[in-house]
């Protein structure tokens, strides 16, 4: 195996230099790739070829559809109905509004698939509501941003589609099923943390539990939750491909938002689609530029070299699993989610497989690590969104989030060392 150390240094060194200089991630990836190509004497036409190849995937067509579905449902009056449903389920507990916030994120995550959308949409409603009822503003914001990470694990998640495409040969249906139980465990751990804090700070209880009210709210929210069932059952049951189910879900979401919940007008639909195009342009540019980067990583044998270096440290599987998590957590502190999935997966997945971690399980590990990274300075986008929505300083939010980091790390360790947490549901349908 020939090792071109200078080319590897140019590719990785300039990439991290551009990141430290706060270049947009897509520009950092593209510029470092171009400099590496020039160093190797390869034609720059390779850039265009690899960019087109990177987005010429039938499976990736699901990504724009899922993002559009999330925007339509998120803007169509769904948030309030899901909050009412969560309130009927858990609002009676001590610190009930914190529990409602967490459960709402579980429901809403299955629709939006985005932690940022969850924080912005639910946070704008829940944070003022919690503060008004006597909860501290920093606690309310911390609960909102940490629970929003459930949305990354609850299908349909476009990040799961990106991982499946990058990993190659991974069943999107299996990934969808694999996310449910870890998301539920994450929600449960956050609820335990919230309850302990709520008891200590004597936060209020909500109204008493009423079964009739719960059944009523389930009936009202049925049309929103059915969108998730349509996608997951369709993909897992083999009725649709992920792309086909995503396209059908967009049409369904449009009809529900406009004609059933009437949270959107046709004029409003065009505004939503305008936001979708803006988001999609960012995502697709990241995917296409990361394709060049991935091509060069493979050409320079970086995944093999990284695997040999990491495996050479120790043969202890527990230590190696912890090291993989540490690498992903550090990357999450300085990079956004999609680039981590696109760049780190080809390097770290072979190592994970070598120590007995299933590719589907590793996908959940990657996504949960990236979710924690979204809450971590200096590039935690969800942290910044929560701070802005809650009008609380970053420092106070980070301090209030510390107990919830522990809850998230516990969940991460369970996913890492107990394979059945993520593989139980997929195994039932295989």
Those residues whose C-beta lies under 8 Å from the C-beta of residue 8, and which sit 6 or more positions away, are 300, 302, 305
Mean of pLDDT over the chain: 82
Contact between 284 and 55 under an 8 Å Cβ cutoff? The reply is yes
Give 318-340 pLDDT, tens digit per residue: 998 998 998 888 877 767 777 78
Q: What is the pLDDT of residue 308?
A: 75
48/409 Cα distance (integer angstroms) = 40
pLDDT at 106 over 80: yes
Task: Categorize the per-residue pLDDT at 105 as very low, low, confident or very high, splitting at 50, 70 and 90.
Answer: confident
d(CA 238, CA 426): 14
Query: Given pLDDT bands bounded at 50, 70 and 90, which one contains residue 108?
Result: confident
So what's the pLDDT on residue 188?
92
What is the model's pLDDT at position 57?
A: 67
For residue 76, what pLDDT band results from cuts at 50, 70 and 90?
low
| Least confident range of 216-220, 235-239, 326-330 | 235-239
SS3 210: coil
Any residues with CB less than 8 A from the CB of 106 and at least 6 apart, and which? 147, 150, 154, 183, 184, 187
Distance of CA 270 to the CA centre of its chain: 26
Identify the residue with better confidence: 87 or 15. 15
When pLDDT is cut at 50, 70 and 90, the band that residue 3 belongs to is: low
Question: Would the pLDDT of 413 be above 90?
Answer: yes
SS (H, E, C) 335-382: CCHHHHHHHHHHHHHHHHHHCCCCHHHHHHHHHHHHHHHCCCCCCCHH
Q: What is the pLDDT of residue 393?
A: 84
Phi-psi region of 135 (alpha: psi -120 to 50; beta: other; left: phi over 0): beta
Whether residue 83 is predicted with pLDDT greater than 70 in this model: the reply is yes
Rounded CA gap, 286 and 24, in Å? Answer: 10
Q: What is the pTM of this model?
A: 0.80
pLDDT of residue 430: 64
Closest CA to 157 of 29, 53, 67, 224: 67
What pLDDT shows up at residue 378?
61
Mean pLDDT, range 376-400, rounded to an integer: 80
* DSSP string over 274-287: HHHHHHHHHHHHHH
pLDDT band for position 247 (cuts 50, 70, 90): confident
* Segment among 57-61, 241-245, 249-253, 307-311 with least mean pLDDT: 57-61
Predicted local distance difference test score (pLDDT) of residue 276: 78
Q: What is the pLDDT of residue 2?
A: 58
What pLDDT score does 181 carry?
Answer: 93
pLDDT value at residue 28: 85
The answer to whether residue 384 scores a pLDDT higher than 80 is no
Is residue 351 predicted with pLDDT exceeding 60? yes
Which tens digit of pLDDT belongs to each residue from 143-176? 988 988 888 888 877 788 888 888 877 888 888 8
404-422: average pLDDT? 94
DSSP letter (8 states) at residue 203: P
Q: What is each CA distance from 94 to 90, 133, 135, 188, in whole angstroms?
A: 9, 13, 12, 15
pLDDT bin (cut points 50, 70, 90) of residue 182 is: very high
Closest residue by Cα to residue 70 from 322, 246, 328, 281: 246
Which has more confidence, 189 or 270? 189
Structure confidence at residue 373 as a pLDDT band (50, 70, 90): confident
The larger pLDDT score, comparing residue 8 to residue 310, is at 8
Per-domain residue ranges of the chain: 1-42, 43-428
| 90-94, 127-131, 232-236, 370-374: least confident range | 232-236
Length of the chain measured in residues: 430
Using the predicted structure, report yes or no on whether residue 138 has a pLDDT greater than 60: yes
Q: Is the pLDDT score of 101 beyond 60?
A: yes
Cα three-residue angle 247-250-254, rounded to 5 degrees: 150
Closest CA to 49 of 292, 306, 310, 285: 292
Burial class (CB in 10 A: 0-12, 13-18, 19+), 333: middle
């Amino acid at each position: 195996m020939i090792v071109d150390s200078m080319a590897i240094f140019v590719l990785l060194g300039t990439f991290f230099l551009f990141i430290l200089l706060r270049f947009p991630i897509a520009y950092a990836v593209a510029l470092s790739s171009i400099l590496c190509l020039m160093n190797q004497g390869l034609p720059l036409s390779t850039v265009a070829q690899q960019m087109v190849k990177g987005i010429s995937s039938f499976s990736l067509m699901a990504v724009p559809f899922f993002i559009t579905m999330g925007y339509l449902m998120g803007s169509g009056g769904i948030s309030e109905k899901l909050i009412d449903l969560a309130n009927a389920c858990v609002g009676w507990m001590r610190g009930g509004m914190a529990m409602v916030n967490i459960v709402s994120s579980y429901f809403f995550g299955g629709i939006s698939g985005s932690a940022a959308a969850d924080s912005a949409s639910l946070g704008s409603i829940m944070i003022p509501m919690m503060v008004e009822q006597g909860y501290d503003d920093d606690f309310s914001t911390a609960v909102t941003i940490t629970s929003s990470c459930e949305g990354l694990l609850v299908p349909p998640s476009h990040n799961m589609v990106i991982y499946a495409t990058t990993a190659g040969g991974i069943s999107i249906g299996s990934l969808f099923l694999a996310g449910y139980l870890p998301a539920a465990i994450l929600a449960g751990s956050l609820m335990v943390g919230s309850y302990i804090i709520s008891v200590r700070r004597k936060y209020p209880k909500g109204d008493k539990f009423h079964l009739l009210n719960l059944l009523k709210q389930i009936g009202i929210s049925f049309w929103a939750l059915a969108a998730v069932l349509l996608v997951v059952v369709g993909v897992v049951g083999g009725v649709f491909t992920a792309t086909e189910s995503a396209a059908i879900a967009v049409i369904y979401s449009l009809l529900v938002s406009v004609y059933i919940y009437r949270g959107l007008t046709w004029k409003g639909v065009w505004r939503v689609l305008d936001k979708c195009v803006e988001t999609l342009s960012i995502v697709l540019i990241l995917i296409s530029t990361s394709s060049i980067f991935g091509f060069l990583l493979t050409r320079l044998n970086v995944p093999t070299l990284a695997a040999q270096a990491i495996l050479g440290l120790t043969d202890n599987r527990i230590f190696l699993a912890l090291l993989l998590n540490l690498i992903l957590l550090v990357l999450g502190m300085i990079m956004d989610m999609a680039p981590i999935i696109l760049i780190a997966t080809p390097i770290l997945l072979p190592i994970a497989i070598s120590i007995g971690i299933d590719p589907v399980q590793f996908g959940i590990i990657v996504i949960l690590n990236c979710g924690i990274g979204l809450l971590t300075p200096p590039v935690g986008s969800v942290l910044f969104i929560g701070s802005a929505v809650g009008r609380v300083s970053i420092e106070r939010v980070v301090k209030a989030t510390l107990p919830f980091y522990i809850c998230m790390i516990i969940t991460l360790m369970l996913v890492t060392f107990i394979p059945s947490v993520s593989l139980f549901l997929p195994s039932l349908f295989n």
